[in-house]
Amino acid sequence: MHGYDACLIVSRTQHMLTLLKLLQDGRFHSGQALGAALGVSRSAVWKQLQQLEAELSLPIYKVRGRGYRLQSPLSLLDSEALNKAGSPWAHRVFDSLDSTNAEVMRRLAAGEVPPFAVVAERQTEGRGRRGRRWVSPYAQNLYYSLALRINGGARQLEGLSLVIGLAVLSTLRAFGLVDAGLKWPNDLLVNNRKIAGILLELLGDPADICHVVVGIGINVNMQSSVVDIDQPWTSMQSESGTLIDRNALIAQLSACLEGYLRRHELEGFSALREEWEGGHLWQGKPVSLIAGVQKIQGRVLGIDATGALRLSVDGEERAYSGGELSLRLSDDS
């Protein structure tokens, strides 16, 4: 690509981001005012709005005499707000990534020292557990990955994903979602609808020093008309009725993560086991545990000191753990 062409693309991207910042309040803005802010003509504004709508799938309304507005207000990420004094670690902010977990891995491979977090407005190849696609519309949800260095070997990995779940649960409840709860091993639900998920990826030797990439996805301001997801889901805005400030959400999440990770490091998972069971929505309920083609029927007793699921199966207690397991309520068709 020639240098001139690259400059044009950068300039166009900057104009689009500036336009988004001007329009994020969801109110009408005249073409003349937008053009003045960007230093371009009204016809150029219209072209950029069309491009913005096409590339980011953000519906834009045009009303003669009033101007342009987004279908819904946005809360855009703000690097300065996220990295203010008091942040437990640096937050790397991106407009678009293949996945935040993949970006963390690239940075670790290049020698960046954890802890640090990566967040993005959107992901083009977001991943969930068991290779599922994580739907990642622009500027609506939270796509967050945290790089951790684990020095304590296997003990520091015990129950780690469940500890992360407690931090996410604490964050959701801090924003008023008192009905949010945990679903073993890595999901959070509200009224049996998924609102958040966690994906941990390990780099290095788990018996010695290794890195863990903690991927967290939270449905924040996503609207049902925007996406097509093959399971029941909800969002923070749907539950609360208000637009959520994603910068405030990230700040709260990072603070909760730091607190729970410190407790886990000092006291081990056993110190958090009772709290996790208290937040587990399916505690004591009949469930089906799916492991490949095998389906195990049982009743949830809780979790053990390593975070494994304890089930009563035919009157006998059994423990299950592993990344390929899936839990369903027994009456869930």
Query: Which segments are annotated as binding site for biotin?
Result: 99-101, 123, 127-129, 194
Measured CA to CA, the distance from residue 309 to residue 326 in angstroms comes to: 11
Q: Are the C-beta atoms of 216 and 127 separated by less than 8 Å? A: no
Q: Which string of b and e fits 49-77 if b means at least 16 CB within 10 Å?
A: beebeeebebebeeeeeebbbbebebbeb
262 classed as catalytic? no
Catalytic residue among 183, 194, 246, 273: 194
Catalytic residue among 107, 122, 129, 183: 129
Q: Are the C-beta atoms of 308 and 323 separated by less than 8 Å? A: no
Write out the binding residues.
Answer: 99-101, 123, 127-129, 194
129 classed as catalytic? yes
Q: Closest Cα partner for 191 from 135, 244, 239?
A: 239
Distance in angstroms between the alpha carbons of the first and the last residue of the chain: 53
Question: Which SS3 state, helix, strand or coil, does residue 270 take?
Answer: helix
User: H/E element holding 93?
Assistant: strand 90-97
Catalytic residues, by residue number, are 129, 194, 328
